[in-house]
Amino acid sequence: MDVTCHTEGQEAKVAIKGRFTFQDHTKFREMIAKVIGADMQRLSIDLGQVEFIDSAGLGMLLLVREEMRGKSRDVVLLRAQGQVKRMFDIARFDTLFTLEQ
Amino acid sequence: MPVLTALARVRIRCDGVDTDTCVHFLQRNAFETEGADETSPVIMLLDSPDEERLVRALQMPSLACVEVVAGMPAPLEPTVAAAGLPILLLSLTSATSYRIPLSNLFAKAVAARAGLDAGITETLETVLQEAIINSLVHGNLEVSSEGRQTLAGWEEVDRQIAARLAMPKFARRRLRLLATWQGDSIDVCVCDEGGGFAVSGVITAPDTAMSGRGLDIMRRLTQTMLHNQRGDCVTLTISR
């Protein structure tokens, strides 16, 4: 997994590339801790280059949602496709997140 | 793990494994190599494989890849195919299993042999990933997922896993994947060497749960999901 982050005003934009799994999540966790600590108004997570996600990856996204909701901040998931989109459908993420393409 | 009839003749390939260990493995598992020819299936023995070596080992015509550990007794692998029944067996230590994208490698290897399309292969990889993590983390490494409700909890879980993987008692416990296919379905059996668990005690996770969703995903994507009584093996059946 590779994770990058840049900010635009009060929005943090995190992009993930590769596999997002139980064994391969540490970079995301570390990046998210920094973003939450920076207290941005909005967080967007670009999943366009994530090739595979498991239930641990889904759980980590939900954890981010909880952390941001606790501060009344927005989280948007971008460009989920392929296996990731199908996992989002199974997990009914459209009822829990704003999903954008 | 189901016990099937032993093969009559096999070829053994040893990658980074000394001759004595190879011979011991053959003797312990009562495999026969005399009379094997180029059509006989191959059993690969490997020592601490990385991803690249495992990809090579899983290429056809191998039907089993077994990791052997230097200085340890050869593993007993009672699960081999009856003649004519296609299988793929992978037997690895927890340490090796955790550090490679095992669900991806195994799903692709099964797909190549069984002629699966991309959609079925993706389903296979998805359910394998959940079963493998359950077996590895909760079974072999005996690490609970209860702490994964906060970032700090995740950090602690990761720390526990790293500590267990550094202990030979846990790191050498085996994870076994066995795939068989015929007709319109594929069966994959995932087994660990942990203490087992009570499947009936697992409650379906709600939508917002940050952990515990793996069993639900497996149920949704498989025709059947069956645990053995001890809870250290799960057999998943997927439609082709």
CB contact under 8 A, B151 and A92: no
CB contact under 8 A, A29 and B151: yes
CB contact B108 to A (< 8 Å): no
CB contact under 8 A, B148 and A32: no
**pLDDT on residue B34:** 85
Give DSSP secondary structure letters for B35-60: T--TTS-EEEEESS--HHHHHHHTST
How many alpha carbons fall within 13 Å on the CB side of residue B83?
A: 6
How many alpha carbons fall within 13 Å on the CB side of residue B149?
A: 4
DSSP letter for B107, please.
H
Question: Please, which residues bridge with residue A75 across strands?
Answer: A43
* Alpha-carbon distances, residue B63 vs B28, B59, B166 (angstroms): 18, 9, 30
Tens digits of residue pLDDT in B174-214: 999 999 998 899 999 999 999 887 665 555 566 666 567 88
pLDDT band at B32 (very low <50, low <70, confident <90, very high): confident
User: Is the preceding peptide bond at B2 cis, omega within 30 degrees of 0?
Assistant: no
Instruction: Return the amino acid letter for B186.
Output: I
**How far is the C-alpha of B21 from the C-alpha of B35, rounded, in Å?**
21
**CB of B75 closer than 8 Å to CB of B66:** yes
pLDDT band at B60 (very low <50, low <70, confident <90, very high): confident
Closest Cα in chain A to B157 = A22
Show Cβ contacts of residue B236 under 8 Å, excluding neighbours closer than 6 positions.
Answer: B127, B128, B131, B187, B188, B189, B190, B218, B222, B224, B225
Q: Would you call B162 exposed, middle or buried from its count of C-beta atoms within 10 A (0-12, 13-18, 19+)? A: exposed
**pLDDT on residue B210:** 58
> Which residues in chain B touch residue A25, judged by CB atoms under 8 angstroms apart?
154
Q: Looking at residues B126-149, what average pLDDT do you find?
A: 92
> Which residues in chain A touch residue B98, judged by CB atoms under 8 angstroms apart?
23
* Alpha-carbon distances, residue A97 vs A45, A94, B104 (angstroms): 11, 6, 28
**CB of B67 closer than 8 Å to CB of B49:** yes
CB contact A41 to B (< 8 Å): no
- Give the distance from residue A31's alpha carbon to the nearest chain B alpha carbon, in angstroms: 11
Residues 80-99 of A with CB under 8 A from B: 82-83, 86-87, 90-92, 95-96
**How far is the C-alpha of B194 from the C-alpha of B136, rounded, in Å?**
8
Tens digits of residue pLDDT in B89-132: 999 999 999 999 999 999 999 999 999 999 999 999 999 999 99
**How far is the C-alpha of B14 from the C-alpha of B17, rounded, in Å?**
5
**How far is the C-alpha of A100 from the C-alpha of B185, rounded, in Å?**
36
**How far is the C-alpha of A23 from the C-alpha of A20, rounded, in Å?**
8
**How far is the C-alpha of B8 from the C-alpha of B31, rounded, in Å?**
7
Phi-psi region of B62 (alpha: psi -120 to 50; beta: other; left: phi over 0): beta
**CB of B234 closer than 8 Å to CB of B189:** yes
- Give the distance from residue A48's alpha carbon to the nearest chain B alpha carbon, in angstroms: 17
Q: Looking at residues B154-167, what average pLDDT do you find?
A: 95
Predicted interface score ipTM higher than 0.90: yes
CB contact under 8 A, A62 and B122: no
- pLDDT of residue A18 exceeding 70, the answer is yes
**How far is the C-alpha of A91 from the C-alpha of B45, rounded, in Å?**
39
